[in-house]
Amino acid sequence: MYCRGFAAEKDEVLQSALRPQDVTEIQHAICNISTEQLVATAQATVTRVLTGLCNTREMEDRFQSIEFQLSEQLKVIKTMLLNIEDRITEQEQVSRHGQRRLLSSLYKHCHVTSHFNLIKLYLHFRKPGLTMEGEISKDWNDDEASNEIPESPRDSEVERYNSTIHAEPIPGQTYSSQRSRAFTYYWRVHGMEHKLTVWSQHRSLRSPSFYVSPGGYRMYIRIYPRQNEDNFYVHVGVTQGDYDDSLPWPFKLKHRINVLDQMSPEVGVQEDISSRVWDPSFLCSEFNWQKPTSGDNYECVGLGFPQSVIRSRNYIRDDIIIIKLTVYLD
């Protein structure tokens, strides 16, 4: 009885010294002693800690981590495939629009003597695989100019300031002599009607990446045309660039988003959809603004509004919207 009690006491001491993450091995030994005077059974239990092995909890945690990483990678691959599809669609639209403008220009400046010759000219310049449907009107007359893509009233602004650094009043202050260096980037998004009506609610489109200054940060814009089916969202984030090692992190440059009103000034006052000036120091966490380690950081800030808003006024013109990002460098 004494030995049995001593063994139990040692086992309790050992159990109290074990950590929850320790992996243990328990060995049992039973000896039968048989003599003429004594028949007895002796039992011993040995518990030892195995090092370098994972317990059940650690294995579950690791499997869950692997599952999460695979899920995130699949999401990235899905987004890349959707963006490739969107790029192909946009390139086809741009190609068709360019053909229309070329044909209209040829009609104006070249004396094409017959409808037949003009069709042959079209067939010479058109992209293989495109049909004639919708590309040439039935009657070639002075109204053919209506087939041209209407130029946006904001084109001069885009051409002048796109991907440039210029001086603007410091955000949040009334006009004064103090001005800040500001970088502006304009992104034209084509095929808006299709995106607003057909796309799934989680589908997004990412802009090309761009640097906000020479040797500076690299950023991108992402839109969700049917977020929750009825809303339109614009997000901004930082992505991996060539100069990240020489830049201070986390990213702290203030910025804002505008969706341009493409109404002609002769018709009325232009009213852009504008976000407030976002300050990364007070938004989200440093996780979103830290140095990117692989591709895009998750976007933090966004401008959202109902689809009915973007369908109003002239935010959509010729099935195109123009998004403007301003990044304040000082």
Q: Could you tell me the residue ranges of all domains in the chain?
A: 2-50, 71-147, 155-328
Which pairing describes strands 301-306 and 321-328: parallel, antiparallel, or unpaired? unpaired
Reported as type and span, the H/E element at residue 66 is helix 56-109
Q: What is the DSSP secondary structure assignment for residue 272, as one 8-state letter?
A: -
pLDDT at 104: 62
What dihedral angle (degrees, nearest 10) is formed by the CA atoms of 194, 198, 202, 203?
A: -40
**Residue pLDDT tens, the chain, 330 long:** 444 444 444 455 555 665 665 656 566 566 666 665 555 555 655 555 555 556 677 788 888 888 878 876 776 676 666 656 656 655 665 666 566 667 666 655 554 444 445 444 444 444 443 333 333 323 333 333 334 445 888 999 999 999 999 998 876 666 556 788 999 999 999 999 999 999 998 899 999 999 999 999 999 999 999 998 899 999 999 999 999 999 999 999 999 999 999 988 888 889 999 999 999 988 888 889 999 998 999 988 789 999 999 998 999 999 999 999 999 998
3-state SS of the chain: helix, strand, coil percent to 5?
35, 25, 40
Between helix 115-125 and helix 56-109 the angle, nearest 10°, is 150
User: CA angle 85-234-262, nearest 5°?
Assistant: 90
Fold of 155-328: 2.60.210
Spatial CA neighbour of 258 closest among 247, 246, 271, 248: 271
Strand order in the sheet with 164-169: 164-169, 179-189, 321-328, 255-259, 273-274
Task: Say how far apart CA 165 and CA 186 lie, in whole Å.
Answer: 13
pLDDT at 287: 86
Residue 299 falls in which region: left (phi positive, over 0), alpha (psi -120 to 50) or beta: beta
Q: What is the DSSP secondary structure assignment for residue 112, as one 8-state letter?
A: -
Task: Say how far apart CA 76 and CA 295 lie, in whole Å.
Answer: 10
Tokens 């796109």 — which residue?
A: 162
Task: Say how far apart CA 6 and CA 8 lie, in whole Å.
Answer: 5
Asked whether the beta carbons of 323 and 187 are under 8 A apart, the reply is yes
CA Rg value for the chain? 34
Hey, which residues does 211 pair with through a beta bridge? 218
Tokens 């243990």 — which residue?
A: 24
Tokens 């579950």 — which residue?
A: 60
With b meaning 16 or more CB within 10 Å and e meaning fewer, what string describes 259-282?
A: bbbbbeeeeeeeeebebeebebee
pLDDT at 232: 96
